[in-house]
Amino acid sequence: MSGRLVIRPALVLLALAAFAAGCRQERYFGPYRLEVPTELEERSSGRTFHLQLDEQDLRIDYRLAHEGGQATNASVWIGREVPPDAEAPGLVPDLPRVDLLAVHLHRLQPGDRIDDRFTEEETRRADLAFSDDRFLVGASIDENAEARISLEITLRVRQGD
């Protein structure tokens, strides 16, 4: 018997079907960069996104970097802007009309760089569809912080199961 490889069409189709079932369409947005404090010396900076997320999963990857000054506490957050007729939550420094939906807290030393993400589960729990598909991603530092930070954001939207 020679060393011939026999490939059956049914096995090839089965392998292709299994591979295709594991593949989902993905779209990436970014990277976007924010700096805190802003040029106006605001202790928070955010970027608004408008994505229809029906039947889709969202993951937000980010890199938080200490760019100068003293050690500081920093938060990376997902939020929504409350309507003008609603009471301002006042939870985000210098952005009082932002309501927080998810928050990561970090302690940054000079020179630190942190790679992290809001997972699909975290963004589902944040219920971004509730915010009319408009949401903000941003960063904040403490009120009296003598530090500069940057936040680089990349969004991954993936078709759900």
Does any domain span residue 18? Answer: no
> Residue 47 belongs to a domain with what CATH number?
2.60.120.680
pLDDT interval class at 126 (50, 70, 90)? confident
Does any domain span residue 87? Answer: yes
**What's the total number of domains in the chain?**
1
Does any domain span residue 6? Answer: no
- Residue 19 has what pLDDT? 52
Q: Which domain holds residue 84?
A: 26-159
What predicted TM-score, i.e. pTM, was given to this entire model? 0.81
Does any domain span residue 101? Answer: yes
Q: Are 147 and 72 in contact (CB under 8 A)?
A: yes
The arithmetic mean of pLDDT across residues 57-82, rounded, is: 96
Of 56 and 106, more confident: 106
- CA 124 distance to own-chain centroid: 12
- Looking at every residue in the chain, the average pLDDT score rounds to 86
pLDDT interval class at 10 (50, 70, 90)? low
Does any domain span residue 8? Answer: no
Laid out side by side, the sheet with 147-159 consists of 26-36, 147-159, 56-69, 113-118
- Residue 41 has what pLDDT? 94
- Residue 122 has what pLDDT? 94
